[in-house]
Structure 1
Amino acid sequence: MSGSSSTIISIREARQKRLKKKANLAGIVTEFSFPRKSAGTDYVSILKIVDESEMHEELSVHMFSDRIEDLPLVQSYKDFIILYHVMIKEYENRPCAICNKQYSSYALFDVNSNTPNYTPYQASRGFVLLEQDTGYVPRMWQVSRYHDMGAGNSEYIVSMKNLAANQHFDLICKVLHVQEASRNRWMFFVWDGNDAPPLSLDTKYKDSEIPLGIEPVPLARHIICQFPCVGTVLRVTVDQGLKDIGLHFKGIGKWVKFRNIRCEEHSGLWHGLFLPSSRIRFLSENDDSVLQCKRTIDERETMEEGFLPTWSTPLPNLTVVDYPSLPTSTLMDFLTNSEEV
């Protein structure tokens, strides 16, 4: 535990006593945005953090830098951050912390180790962990390991089976793949086990070529073969001029909560959009919202008609097949089949 000489104060104290003053903070990162261009000349990203004093009321931290690569990129669930000389201000009638490139510094620490790691995986230029604050590394490591961070507010969560065009919503999903769609424009391939509603295609075959996907270049077969065979794989585009963001993103294969994204129709296909106000929240495999998705997936895999889209009606009893003993397959089953057809 840190001693009384530590320069770091609690989030509660920062809110109550340090308004319009600088403070040193330490907190678990619950949510983050991708870096983007600010209204001025800098780049900005926003983190949400909690600590022992405020486990259920997050503090927003606005990070500013003149170089996009200097902004934090959180790697995993419950990583923690140490912040030096951040200004506590009011923004939209709520206290927040401002990390300024001129006088502030930060360091991100990994909690996925058996013992506390005093070496940050990312730190701003000029960050030096003060000797009297070293006790905060094992302290935050312990808090991270023994306190679960939930999915947060569920008011705006929508599953893929209930997607609607031009609606802002939150999505609990698993990130299957990330690839660059064009220069500094990245595409996330996400899935929650449900099927998105069908869309109509308002065009004639002779008028134009009908696209088979949102991505400009078809995915390699070895990538498609890793995708689930049941449920929609939604394409979500991050179009914020982010160089190499997909290469540094460590969430592939993890369950996340996308906050405040939007969907639109694109040539009969669903297309998700990551907005400047959107956020990402890493989730635990044992989070209630994740377990609910997994239960839905397990039920579909065990049900005889689980291969059918979740929006479809059951097969009529009049349907007759020549080989009733054979399992029913989806198109993805054929696309991912290793045997030559």
Structure 2
Amino acid sequence: MIIAVDAVGGDHYPESPVQGSIQAVEEDDSLRVILLGPEELVNEELNKYEYDRERISVQDAPEIIGMDESPAQAVKSKKNSSITVGLGLQRAGKCNGFISAGNTGALLAASTFILGKLKGVSRPTIAATFPTIKGFRLLVDAGANLEMRPEMYYQFARMGVIYAREVMKIDDPQIGLINVGEEKEKGTEDVKEAYNLLSPLPEFIGNIEGGDIFSAKADILLCDGFVGNVLLKFGESIPGAVKQIIEAELKKEAQRGKPQAPPTKLIQSSLSMFNPENVGGVPFLGVDGVSMVGHGGSSALAVKNMIFNAVKCVENNINEKIIASLNS
């Protein structure tokens, strides 16, 4: 298995991509990694560590796409960027997947343009994991498509079922359409039409409301990218907010003469499911390849987990199963 890694993607490059790649090959003897970025910069970071030189190589990609650049313009103008070169390697069959913690819009645009779309897919989507009391569930779309046509909800739902079952190992995943009420008549015209298209699917349980999300009433949380991205960012903010609330309350108790040690370890353990590093990255479902994007602030741990998530997609033949599902 060969995974190409964007060594200059995210806020902590090249440290996090390099360290995460080294950790990944140390844990999986069958894995090889190609690091993409300015060769001198990447090698300078690699030389700080002991690593298996037979299983980690560097591919020169001298141009860097910044986090604030226009996605379409960056992909067109920077033909030698780590993103375009890495996806080109995958298209040429020289690696099995590509991961990056860089510019999400640029990665989506490049993945669609270079890898193409799977048969039967109108638009690719970002499928993100979302924490619930029953563990991680799948949120789709998580920001790739701010406005969606009814048929896109249907396609994303079917792709999400494949990913949830094959990679997340959720038995019999259920689909819930996020709406302002459970009744089928609720929502915009597009959402109501999406409900009608989804109704024949055996996995579809109907509309779900905001209060159903953390309780995991459904395993596939289906919505447009505008709602999905807001939900995703809200979920990521919860651990820090809860920690501040608890520590503030403990401080008040101490001022009242009731000193207590902050239960830091308990707080961190309880909220660990909200940490995106434990998942690493999420796929662009619908592209003809394996392309995954991680949080801009990804650490080495997040990069390592993103690599392993890409491996799972390849090993479980996600794309072949999506094609079969959409064209059956």
Tell me which of the two structures has the higher relative contact order, counting C-alpha pairs closer than 8 angstroms and 6 or more residues apart. 2
More strand by share: 1
Q: State TM-score, norm by structure 1.
A: 0.28
More helix by share: 2
